[in-house]
Copies of this chain bind each other. A is one copy, B any other.
Amino acid sequence: MVQAKTWILTKHFDGFPKDSNFKLKVEDLPEPKNGEVLLEAVFLSVDPYMRPFSRLSMKEGDVMIGGQVAKVIQSKNPAFPVGSHVVGNCGWRTHTVCDGTGLIPIMPDWPKDVSLSLALGIMGMPGLTALYGIEEVLGLKKGETILVNAAAGAVGSVVGQIAKIKGCKVVGSAGSDAKVAFIKELGFDEAFNYKTVGSLEEALKKASPEGYDCFFENVGGPFFTAAVQQMKTFGRIAVCGGIATYNDATPQTGPYPHLIMILKELKMEGFMQSRWNHKNEESLKRMMGWLKEGKLQSREHITKGFENMPAAFMGILRGENIGKAVIAV
């Protein structure tokens, strides 16, 4: 009999997550029945969305939600042979028995020299989020100027690189000098540390005196308020995240953006990459092409050990990661 380690959400988060919100629980798994497989996690993902979604899609006592790259170690389902790898939303667990619904096999021509962990990052949900935000939501055009915040994160770092591929000027904001150095290395035209600039308004104006055509928003809060004022007429804002607000026990507030949205005729759209799942196969091929050509670079922030998942999760909410945060079992 196989045992799965799992991380349970014992109590809904109230404010910033604490160790006491999580509990490691060992579960006996049944043998896979016909049509089922037994998976073993190889890499697990921690992402900011888990903070708000936990309250929306989980009840206390549930296994934490999340994606993983797993190896098929037993199979009674011919679609998933033993030894193959899949990406699945199995949650924070080392082993899973399931019937294969929702599992996505790793691309058949995945290069041997590319870590499978990238299927949780630049070649997975965060990378596709960046791509669809740029192409489907913003409709970013060559020569335009785009602003992205949380720019050293799993999504932001890809946003900037894709925008460079598309011939745009890219301005990035991040929360440490090391992150600023990293995104400069990635080819961002301008980058600043929002924690040390003093005036966000001045930093945004200095980085692009003529304003911004597009804004890829991952943060929310006062950054949003400052950035929306710097948009050009007919500017577009893709709302991908609001990490600065996720841990508020009482929602923080800001001025209503109505007047500037009217005066500049701004457009603002919230989105999730799942809307374009039907394009994923083609999109991942393009992204893999860019990766092989060296036009896209991936950086990961790897935490070893399943037992360290809560710490890794709290780390991303504190902004400790540069690039994609991944747990290697």
Residues of A whose CB lies within 8 Å of any CB of B are: 52, 56, 217, 220-221, 224, 239-242, 245, 251-256, 258-272, 275
Contacts and interface: CB of A to CB of B under 8 A. Distances in A.
Q: Tell me how many chains of this kind the complex includes.
A: 2
A191 to B, nearest CB: 23
A224 B56 CA distance: 22
Contacts of A275: 265
Given A56-B263, A253-B253, A263-B56, A258 B245 contact: yes
Contacts of A224: 256, 258
B258 A263 contact: no
A196 B254 CA distance: 26
A261 B256 contact: no
Nearest to A245: B256
A182 to B, nearest CB: 25
Contact of A239 (B52, B245, B262, B271): B262
A271 B262 contact: yes
B256 A242 contact: yes
A260 to B, nearest CB: 8
A223 to B, nearest CB: 10
A239 B258 contact: yes
Given A265-B269, A272-B265, A255 B258 contact: no
Contacts of A240: 262
B220 A256 contact: yes
Contacts of A56: 263
A134 B101 CA distance: 41
A82 to B, nearest CB: 38
B251 A253 contact: no
Nearest to A258: B242
